[in-house]
Amino acid sequence: MNAAKKAAIISKPGKPELAAILPPLLEWLRAHDYEALIDTYTAAHLKIGDGIKREEIAAHKPAFVIVLGGDGTLLAAARAVAHAQIPILGVNLGSLGFLTEVALEELYPTLEGLHGNLCGTERRAMLYCQLVRSGKCVAEYTALNDVVAGKGTISRMADFDMFLNGVFITNYKADGLIISTPTGSTAYSLSSGGPILVPNVDGFVITPVSPHSLTYRPLVVHDSAQFEILVKTTPEESYLTVDGQVGTPLRSGDRVICKKSGDHVILLRLQHKNFFDVLRTKLKWGER
């Protein structure tokens, strides 16, 4: 990479170990002629200034973003910078991370590889979602993992009609309905019995959560499809959640329309690791 570029750091809040991790990282960036941009949570760990709001980082045009945290932190970072096609390096500070694959002890060797143009990249598809109410779009979101229409109460099942390219599929009575990307297939969808999709598969997964009928099974469709969920519950009974982090209550008659986003996430990858290495490590699959 060329000198005098910018690099951004996005950190997970509430991680006290970052107070020790960040100073040497900033020193490495300075020594390699990168101007460091830090988000508000990083600034809080360093107890300096206010930092930059995550949604404003892309406007500063960093060459890449370092995410210090877990998959949740990376999901938030992805929604903030994907539209600008800024590569993300995910450093895992938690116990389970399919996206933040770089361990802390691998941080500096990976940065050296990145600085020397030796890091690979991987493009991940995203979902674009609109909430349509009374014929008007009242909210729109982009998701790297999934979009979930789910019940908002403990005792009542949600009730949804599902359409694919305008064709009625079925009525789902379930705790929820997940539309996931290949990336999201290892998240909520997997825990609900959905299949694992290799990241470069051109598909999405529709996974019902605890459906009323055992004959409802996860459905894999091509990513050129447009999904439409018709909500048939009352306002207090269902909720739209994006990547498990943002969302809004749903009302009876709402339509949730999802399709492949024009944006995609660029993940910086270690050359010696592949998706199945990650699966074996994270899911404790056996070695040869």
Fold of 126-262: Tumour Suppressor Smad4 (2.60.200)
Per the DSSP assignment, residues forming a β-bridge with 60 are none
Segment 21-45 shows an average pLDDT of: 95
Packed helices 18-31 and 107-115: angle between N→C axes, nearest 10 degrees: 20
The pLDDT of residue 272 is 65
**Minimum mean pLDDT among 7-11, 82-86, 96-100, 262-266: which range?**
96-100
Amino acid residing at 259: K
Q: Convert 196-252 into a string of H (helix), E (strand) and C (coil).
A: CCCCCCCEEEEEEECCCCCCCCCEEEECCCCEEEEECCCHHHEEEEECCCEEEECCC
pLDDT for 19 equals 92
Q: Give me the pLDDT at residue 103, please.
A: 86
Average pLDDT over residues 98-108: 87
Cβ(225)–Cβ(187) under 8 Å? no
The pLDDT, as a whole number, for residue 47 is 85
pLDDT attached to residue 176: 92
> What residues contact 47, with CB distance under 8 A and at least 6 apart?
none
Stretch(es) of the chain classified as CATH 3.40.50.10330? 5-119+270-282
CA distances from 94 to 100, 102, 242 (A): 9, 11, 21
Comparison of pLDDT for 190 and 281, the residue scoring more:
190
175, 208, 217, 276 from 158: Cα distances, Å: 6, 11, 17, 35
For residue 101, name the pLDDT band (cuts at 50, 70, 90): confident
pLDDT surpasses 70 at 102: yes
107 vs 100: which has the higher pLDDT: 107
Predicted local confidence at residue 237, as pLDDT = 76
Q: Tens digit of pLDDT for each residue in 150-180? A: 987 666 788 999 999 999 999 999 999 999 9
pLDDT number for residue 215: 87
pLDDT the model gives residue 100: 84
Neighbours of 120 (CB within 10 A): 13
For the segment(s) 5-119+270-282, the CATH number from 3.40.50.1820, 3.40.190.10, 1.10.10.10, 3.40.50.10330 is 3.40.50.10330
Chain segment 191-240, per-residue pLDDT in tens? 999 999 999 999 999 999 999 888 899 999 999 999 999 999 776 778 99
- State yes or no: pLDDT of 33 exceeds 90: yes
* pLDDT score at 257: 98
> Residue 3: pLDDT above 70?
no
**Distance from the Cα of residue 136 to its chain's centroid:** 26
Nearest in space to 152 (alpha carbons), one of 251, 222, 24, 80: 251
pLDDT bin (cut points 50, 70, 90) of residue 2 is very low
The enclosing H or E element of 31 equals: helix 18-31
pLDDT at 112 over 70: yes
Q: Where in the chain is CATH 2.60.200.30?
A: 126-262
pLDDT of residue 1 exceeding 50, the answer is no
Active site residues: 71
Q: Say what the pLDDT of residue 97 is.
A: 76
